[in-house]
Chain A
Amino acid sequence: EAQVTQNPRYLITVTGKKLTVTCSQNMNHEYMSWYRQDPGLGLRQIYYSMNVEVTDKGDVPEGYKVSRKEKRNFPLILESPSPNQTSLYFCASKSGTSEPIPTDTQYFGPGTRLTVL
């Protein structure tokens, strides 16, 4: 089954304790991205990656890191989480522009609900 998976789905942590949220897709997509969703603010892009070893900042990158060492994985790293990073996080992927039939459709993972105390 074609899908984007995220782990963990739920996480409660404390300020300053480094954490990683994993994201993996099995659709051979070139493009991957991370978003956070907050009430009243909608979905905002954190980071995206056009391909392996290529990452770019989205609209709200502060406090986050990403890496893209393999095509299928795009982990989100919070080096020193703070309470304002409490949010619902989504990973997404889509086929890249170099692929035969780019559709520009992003497929989302199930979400990770993070609480930072």
Chain B
Amino acid sequence: AQKVTQAQTEISVVEKEDVTLDCVYETRDTTYYLFWYKQPPSGELVFLIRRNSFDEQNEISGRYSWNFQKSTSSFNFTITASQVVDSAVYFCALTGGDKIIFGKGTRLHILP
């Protein structure tokens, strides 16, 4: 069965600190996609990044970076120099067919 685990329920950091959100997944599929979504206080779900199972190249986009490691089934997300506007719930998700499985989310508080 597919499963996504976000062990960190809630994290608080002071503005400008770096923060990493952890995501561990389980799947028997050989082809799958991994995602990060952001849910700000306004409630919408915003797509941040997608990685397919054949692409282990890590990516940096501005203050965001992602570390995908198949060997440890992890897809971690790092915010560098965090800002108050980064405060949100972040969801890791996995697809491998018709369904998408979400982790339970990590609530990130960036304190001014």
A residues adjacent to B (C-beta < 8 A): 31, 33, 40-43, 45, 48, 50, 56, 58, 88, 90, 92, 103-108, 110-111, 113
A104–B95 touching, CB < 8 Å: yes
We find that the number of chain B residues with CB closer than 8 angstroms to chain A is 18
Residues of B3-61 at the interface with A, using a CB-CB cut-off of 8 Å, are 33, 35, 37, 43-45, 47, 50, 52
Main secondary structure, interface of A, reads strand
B47–A105 touching, CB < 8 Å: yes
B44–A108 touching, CB < 8 Å: yes
B residues adjacent to A (C-beta < 8 A): 33, 35, 37, 43-45, 47, 50, 52, 91, 95, 98-100, 102-105
Main secondary structure, interface of B, reads strand
Residues of chain B with a CB closer than 8 A to A90's CB? 45
Which B-chain residue is minimally distant from A56 (CB atoms)?
B98
A48–B99 touching, CB < 8 Å: yes
A111–B44 touching, CB < 8 Å: yes
Known contacts A48-B98, A103-B50, A42 near B91 by CB under 8 Å = yes
